[in-house]
Amino acid sequence: MVYVIAYLKAHADKGDEVAALAAPLIDATRKEEGCVSDDLYRKVAGPDTVVFVETWKSRAALDAHFAEPHLKAFQAAMADHLAEVRVEVVYPEKIEVL
């Protein structure tokens, strides 16, 4: 298994917009081959930060996800909404930061 933890910090008061734009992405991602789970959380102390927690069967499945049109569309839509992004790919033996 491969896990992804993606932290997206929106500009002030844009957290609701980011979460709303993420809903269709999550629905499409959950249907992808190799996706075990994809959930979105919001920080209680920082509602403009959303956190994706994903589980993938393999790195190959995750790589296929990175090429999906729905992910690329989400990334384009986020261009003006985000102040910071940190994506961690977690393996049993290491953590890769994208």
Domain ranges in the chain?
Answer: 2-97
Cα(46)–Cα(37) distance, rounded to whole angstroms?
Answer: 24
pTM: 0.90
Tell me the three state secondary structure of residue 18.
helix
Backbone torsions φ then ψ of 37, nearest 5 degrees: -160, 155
* pLDDT by residue, tens only, the chain of 98 residues: 999 999 999 999 999 999 999 999 999 999 999 999 999 999 888 889 999 999 999 999 999 999 999 999 999 999 899 999 999 999 989 999 99
CATH class of 2-97: alpha beta
- Those residues whose C-beta lies under 8 Å from the C-beta of residue 62, and which sit 6 or more positions away, are 2, 4, 34, 54, 56, 89
